[in-house]
Structure 1
Amino acid sequence: MKRQKRDRLERAQAREYQAGLNGRSNEVCPYQGVDARTNWLGGWRDAREEIQTGLYK
């Protein structure tokens, strides 16, 4: 059975989530498209919120 690739927008959000956890700036977004950039920044915001609430140090 073939594995199905995740959606590009989902990957963008997951990558920025990890970048946000690692303390990277949201200004270094590698995506030019509006949808991918929106998801990328959404992942960054989610990670920063979790850091602020104390889920990660």
Structure 2
Amino acid sequence: MKRQKRDKLTRAHAKGYQAGISGRSKENCPFQSFDTRSHWLGGWREAVEDRSVGLAVR
């Protein structure tokens, strides 16, 4: 059985989260589509919040 690809919006959120945890700027978003970009930024914001609370360490 073939493995299913993950949903593109879920992947965008996860990549945004990874970028936020690593301290990258939100200006580095690689997506141009509105929906995909908004999911990436949502993940980025979540990661920045987690870092400020102390849940993640670089």
The TM tier, using the shorter chain, reads over 0.9
1:14, distance to aligned residue in structure 2 (A): 0.4
1:2, distance to aligned residue in structure 2 (A): 1.6
Q: TM-score, normalised by structure 1?
A: 0.93
Counterpart of 1:5 in structure 2 is 5
Counterpart of 1:27 in structure 2 is 27
Specify every segment of 5 or more residues in structure 2 that has no aligned partner in the other structure, as ranges: none
Q: Percent identity?
A: 60
Specify every segment of 5 or more residues in structure 1 that has no aligned partner in the other structure, as ranges: none
Runs of 4+ residues over 4 Å off in structure 1: none
Amino acid at match of 1:15: K
Q: Aligned residue pairs: how many?
A: 57
Deviation string for 1:1-57 (max 9, x for gaps)? 221110111111101100100000001111110000000000000100111111112
Counterpart of 1:39 in structure 2 is 39
Q: TM-score, normalised by structure 2?
A: 0.92
RMSD (Å) for aligned C-alpha atoms: 0.7
DSSP 3-state at the match of 2:4: coil
